[in-house]
Amino acid sequence: MGRLFGTDGVRGVANADLTAELALGLSVAAAHVLAEAGTFEGHRPTAVVGRDPRASGEFLEAAVVAGLASAGVDVLRVGVLPTPAVAYLTGALGADIGVMLSASHNAMPDNGVKFFARGGHKLADELEDRIETVYEQHRTGEPWTRPTGAGVGRVTDYVEGFDRYVAHLIGVLPNRLDGLKVVLDEAHGAAARVSPEAFARAGAEVVTIGAEPDGLNINDGCGSTHLALLRAAVVEHGADLGIAHDGDADRCLAVDAAGEEVDGDQILAVLALAMREAGQLRRDTVVGTVMSNLGFKLAMEREGIQLVQTAVGDRYVLESMKAEGYALGGEQSGHVIVLDHATTGDGTLTGLMLAARVAATGRSLAELAGVMERLPQVLVNVPDVDKARVHTSQEVAAAVAEAERELGHTGRVLLRPSGTEPLVRVMVEAADIEQARTVAGQLADVVKSALG
């Protein structure tokens, strides 16, 4: 069996890859593994279970709840809420485990199961591996030890979760949003109720699009992966800014008053300066990934803020932040983590904090985002090559060195083997888009000939 857990839980086509049987089995396995690890010691265990609005989330939620309760875990079912809300409630309610059913920005037919440990943090890799092992042992015949009578878990609908999460968001904002007009694109996803409620309670005038989930329309031509509708709506309504979430609202991208995109790097730049000003940017450091735009790095250098770069993936950003005690980190895709207030990327919180900065300064989002110049990035995928040799080939190394000499201080080259396919990604940044394209093409040719 290949590894079930990816970088963000177990994900696949619902009812094909991710079946009710798999969801139930993993939930029982998770309960047993956490019991073995001593998580439940001395008390009756509790779980928080939430989902995004996908149709398949209905039967998968039922399977997860059944699995946990059958293993003796009491379940608080919070219904449709964002992933960061489930993480927050897991911590706030002192639960032993949190489970979110979502495939984030993926298309509607997909779904996923993501587990949180006590405190609302992602499960450690070794626990995920153990859950897989235990699940596989029992799938092939070894019977579970099952509680009976009063030992089975009880299931309760925790309807207070919505208000409790919104109150948390409002409570951590540095200032109100009175006087701002904001368009919110909810991707017909998990934040369709939460985000408009939070912005309105914070004082903003709110216009919503993509906020009518029917179980089938999540991420369909809207949200953070499709910004065209938001751009048009911001201009049409004369709004100060627009905020776009993905299906489970752990991401946030923005649009300024002219309809221009403000990406995750720019959002990080704005928040880094705001948090430093407030004395909240610990060690004057922000965490990004190797794919962070060079313009972001140059802007942070100019402002006296250190940028720590990790491998691509918000889990690596979070690991670095927790290990070193940094307060802010994120990715170009809009995963932004404010560790004092969230244990994971929180798109609604990010959007609120960005809007709060606009309100506090009286400056437009375009002006604030202008702290960094987003340098053109060209990405070329080179397929059917021996990706394992990309960092050992002398021919490739010589071509990279030559490209870096040509680009100088205002350009950058990054070669990355794909984690899932036999290809190498060639990324080139330069102040001039044509130069970036030329250099990327030349490097791709060398990679193809040297590693093909």
The type of residue at 164 is R
Give the pair of three-digit tokens for residue 444.
């791709």
Q: How far is Cα 255 from Cα 387, in angstroms, rounded to an integer? A: 37
Q: What is the topology classification, in CATH, of domain 377-451? A: TATA-Binding Protein (3.30.310)
Ranges for all domains in the chain classified under CATH 3.30.310.50: 377-451
Count of CA atoms in the C-beta half-sphere (13 A) of 307: 24
Active-site choice (56, 102, 104, 320): 104
Q: Is 96 annotated as contributing to ligand binding?
A: no
CB neighbours of residue 95 within 10 Å: 26
Q: How far is Cα 16 from Cα 437, in angstroms, rounded to an integer? A: 40
CATH of domain 10-162: 3.40.120.10
pLDDT of residue 1: 43
Name the CATH superfamily for 172-369: Alpha-D-Glucose-1,6-Bisphosphate, subunit A, domain 3 (3.40.120.10)
Q: Is 246 annotated as contributing to ligand binding?
A: yes
Read out DSSP for 305-363?
-EEEEESSSHHHHHHHHHHHT-SEEE-TTS-EEETTT-SS--HHHHHHHHHHHHHHH--
Q: Is 314 annotated as contributing to ligand binding?
A: no
Count of CA atoms in the C-beta half-sphere (13 A) of 94: 4
> Which residues of the chain, if any, have pLDDT below 70?
1-2, 420
Count of CA atoms in the C-beta half-sphere (13 A) of 234: 25
At 297-332, the pLDDT tens digits run: 999 999 999 999 998 888 899 999 999 999 999 999
> Does the active-site annotation cover 102?
no
pLDDT of residue 2: 55
Q: Is 386 annotated as contributing to ligand binding?
A: no
Q: How far is Cα 411 from Cα 436, in angstroms, rounded to an integer? A: 8
Closest alpha carbon to 88 in 133, 119, 113, 61: 119
Q: What are phi and psi of 129, to 5 degrees?
A: -60, -40
Ranges for all domains in the chain classified under CATH 3.40.120.10: 10-162, 172-369
